[in-house]
Amino acid sequence: MAATTPIGSACELSVVDHHMLSESSNKFHVGEVFQNRDTVRRTIEEIFASQCLPRLSRGQRRRAHAKSIGPRPCIVIEEPHRSPDSVTVTPPQICLMATFGGTPMEDLPRVFQFFCIPVMTLCGRPLEGAHAPSLPEWTRPNAHVIAWPYLAQRPLGRRWRLPKGYRGDGSDTDFGEIAMQTLKDMCAQKKRDWEQCCLEDPGLAAEYEREFRVSPSAR
């Protein structure tokens, strides 16, 4: 029997999600979670670059493309695909996940507060509003999806699995069909909101960037 998990608000768990089904021969499928060595800086730099902010210094560029100390989870948003010339392969599009070392979201730079979506966890408090549940339920508290998809530049590692000692431990983790559609919709909405906010306040992106640069999360 396929694993299922509820999706929706913490008070309305009436919808049951299911694993995504894919008939493609790709190694990476939508909704699957893999190990990745990008830092959260990589995603944030992509967000700032979308507003044509000044080019990064050499040091900032090096830090943005540095490897994370350990693997972090990422969700496959779009599968890799081969170009019409059948030679070039576009890498998978991914969203990074992060726990920020347990730092409360309200203590992080506002760019994280704008783009992060909480993940329902097995051991965490109930969530209200928009959130992303995984199959099986995520185990680490304070987990978030950074809702800005980008093309993976590093090869993805192994499938992300639950640690020992949890229900369903050793199982590959992924996000189901309903969760992925909701996540894609939220990513698109976040992008529209960001563009609209930056249009209404032309200095907003630069303000968020300055705040991010002096934060420990940018080091």
CA dihedral angle for residue 185, residue 188, residue 192, residue 198, rounded to 10 degrees: 130
Q: What's the pLDDT tens digit per position in 49-80?
A: 888 775 545 555 555 455 566 899 999 999 88
For residue 64, what are its two tokens? 């943005």
- Helix boundaries (H) for the chain: 40-49, 58-64, 110-115, 177-200, 204-213
Mean pLDDT, range 43-53, rounded to an integer: 86
pTM for this one? Answer: 0.80
For residue 8, what are its two tokens? 């929706």
pLDDT band at 197 (very low <50, low <70, confident <90, very high): very high
Of the listed ranges 6-20, 63-77, 145-159, the least confidently predicted one is 6-20
Query: Any bridge partners for residue 179, and if so which?
Result: none
pLDDT band at 211 (very low <50, low <70, confident <90, very high): very high
Q: What per-residue confidence (pLDDT) applies to 34?
A: 95
**SS3 state at 90:** strand
With tokens 């304070």, the residue in question is 142
Residue 167 pLDDT exceeds 60 = no
CB of 117 closer than 8 Å to CB of 183: yes
Q: What per-residue confidence (pLDDT) applies to 126?
A: 47
Rounded CA separation 177/188 (Å): 17
Rounded CA separation 33/76 (Å): 6
Of the listed ranges 97-101, 134-138, 187-191, the least confidently predicted one is 134-138
Q: What's the pLDDT tens digit per position in 103-143?
A: 999 999 999 999 999 987 655 454 455 567 777 788 888 89
Rounded CA separation 4/8 (Å): 13
The Cα-based distances of 130 to 3, 8, 77, 95, 127 in angstroms read 22, 7, 18, 16, 8
